[in-house]
Amino acid sequence: DAPTVELPEPGPPDLEPEPRAAPVPADPAPLAWPVEPPGEEPTETALRPEEPTETALRPEEPPSADR
């Protein structure tokens, strides 16, 4: 029976991995930082669709085709 009591002992070690989970999410956070700077450049174009839209809204510019 004594050896059976040892089985419950491994229970506490399981709790250790839980606290470690906190530092794990922190790792991905720093990775997002480097991704944000480069993402802002392409994001500006997506946020400023007016640039490409001007051509669509200003069909008068390409009157050369009519001429």
At 4-55, the pLDDT tens digits run 555 555 545 555 555 554 555 555 555 555 555 554 555 555 555 555 555 5
Give the whole-angstrom CA distance, residue 26 versus residue 9: 30
Give the whole-angstrom CA distance, residue 33 versus residue 24: 16
What's the CA angle centered on 14, arms 13 and 15, to 5 degrees?
90
Q: Look at the pTM and tell me if it is higher than 0.75.
A: no
